[in-house]
Amino acid sequence: MKSILPDENFVYFGDLKNSPYGQKTKEQLIEITSDIFEFFKYKKSKAVVMACNTTSANVYDVYKDKYDYTIYPIIQSCAKIISKMDLTKLGVFATSATVSTNTYTREIQKYNPNIEVFEMSCPGWVQIVENNKQDDDLSIELVKENLERMMKNKPDKIVLGCTHYPFLLNILSKFVPKETFIDPALYFANFIKQDLEKQNLLNDNGGIEEFYVSANAKEFQTAAKMFYELQTPPEVINFATV
């Protein structure tokens, strides 16, 4: 989003205190995310991006009409795009909390009921990425086993339905052609840009960045180097004081 919307002001919040979300219940996720949405209201955000598949699947419906700002959930937004692809069978790798809701299946088939969707949870994948264990033999074997199970369904494409999973593409593409996999991020970012244009909400004179976390600021700054170079450690936010 930063690359295609360089003039927007970005406020990023990373919930390191409560992550990972993938094994949590819907009730836990609602309680956890309540303060986050209030924080973005406090920051006077015009739009909030739910980059997390797990929260998009579990809590979007709870908050979608609660705030004045636009909320963009990754699954519901990308389903509109993916459903238009020339597909008969679609695989989805996601967290247990996402798969348990069947949100990918429901949203894809809302627009194209002819696409058969196979959702599969991948315990351990997030930890592989967060611990930078992509080159370990055990990590490669775990990813391979999950992939082999999915390929029994003979999917035309496979969605990497968690923000961490695209960082496993080097492993996945050892066994299946890289073009088989869909990283929703680029589709999602372009969808948001187009929608902001329609609403006449694009900024043409910004570019400010603010980074916040709920814990472990230095750990986040180190981990973030996989995708972005932070100039300073993010600020740790205690919602009780906001």
Contact present, 43 and 13 (Cβ < 8 Å): no
Token look-up 């196979």 returns: 118
232, with CB counted inside 10 A (0-12, 13-18, 19+), is exposed
Euclidean distance between CA atoms 82 and 157, whole angstroms: 10
Euclidean distance between CA atoms 69 and 80, whole angstroms: 21
Closest CA to 182 of 107, 93, 80, 118: 93
Closest CA to 192 of 45, 34, 43: 45
What pairs with residue 213 in β-bridges? 14, 236
The active-site residue out of 36, 82, 122, 162 is: 162
The active-site residue out of 36, 52, 122, 160 is: 52
The type of residue at 149 is R
Which pair of structure tokens corresponds to residue 146? Answer: 């999950």
Active site residue 122: no
Active site residue 78: no
Q: Looking at 8-131, list the stretches that DSSP marks H as alpha helix, in order from N- to C-terminal side.
A: 26-42, 53-58, 60-63, 74-82, 96-99, 103-111, 125-130
Q: Point out the residues that are catalytic.
A: 52, 162
